[in-house]
Amino acid sequence: MQATAYTYDAETRTGSVLLDDGNPVPFDAPAFDAGGLRLLRPGQRVRIELDGDKVTLVTLQTF
């Protein structure tokens, strides 16, 4: 699923993404670490995976 990075705290590696319907969904450090990212800027398009309503993966969206 695609989303847009909304917030990100580099110290805790947590943040939130905005789904395309505008709803924010938080993610925790394990979801960020699973994507292999080092940094995330608000506004970047990302791909996320959900398990129920919990984000399990955040990675950059590539075309």
pLDDT per residue over 6-33, tens digit each? Answer: 999 999 999 999 999 999 999 999 999 9
Q: At a CB cut-off of 8 Å and minimum separation 6, what does 38 contact?
A: none
Q: Has residue 50 got a pLDDT over 90?
A: yes
Cβ proximity of 17 and 25 under 8 Å = yes
Reported as type and span, the H/E element at residue 49 is strand 45-51
Residue 58: which of 28, 21, 20 has the closest Cα?
A: 28
Q: What is the pLDDT of residue 63?
A: 65
**pTM for this model (two decimals):** 0.89
* Helix, coil or strand: residue 37: coil
pLDDT surpasses 70 at 45: yes
Confidence of residue 56 (pLDDT cuts 50, 70, 90): very high
CATH of domain 2-60: 2.40.50
How many Cβ atoms are within 10 Å of 43's Cβ, its own excluded? 9
